[in-house]
Amino acid sequence: MLHFILELALERLEREIQRTKERYPQATYIGIADGATSNWSFLKGHTSEHILDFYHATGYLRAVAVALYPRTERLSIISG
């Protein structure tokens, strides 16, 4: 049942994208999504630019910061 609902939602989204592109043929279409592969697979067919949303991008940056700076060093940077 869930698969059927998802399929209907994607069909509706496809129609809306088509209507928008017919109305604004010269526009640049940008896809914004999280890191899920299915999102990018879908957006690739409809958009020319792809952007990772802010929430997920900052999550990846936080993971890098934690890996690069031990907790005590992070605290000293924050404390000034």
In the 8-state DSSP scheme, what is residue 48?
Answer: S
Q: Where are the domains of the chain?
A: 2-79
pLDDT at 4: 84
9-64 residue pLDDT tens: 999 999 999 999 999 999 999 999 988 898 899 999 999 999 988 988 888 888 88
pLDDT at 77: 62
Residues 6+ away with beta carbon under 8 Å from 30: 47, 48, 49, 50, 51
The pTM of the full predicted model, rounded to 2 decimals, is: 0.61
In the 8-state DSSP scheme, what is residue 51?
Answer: E
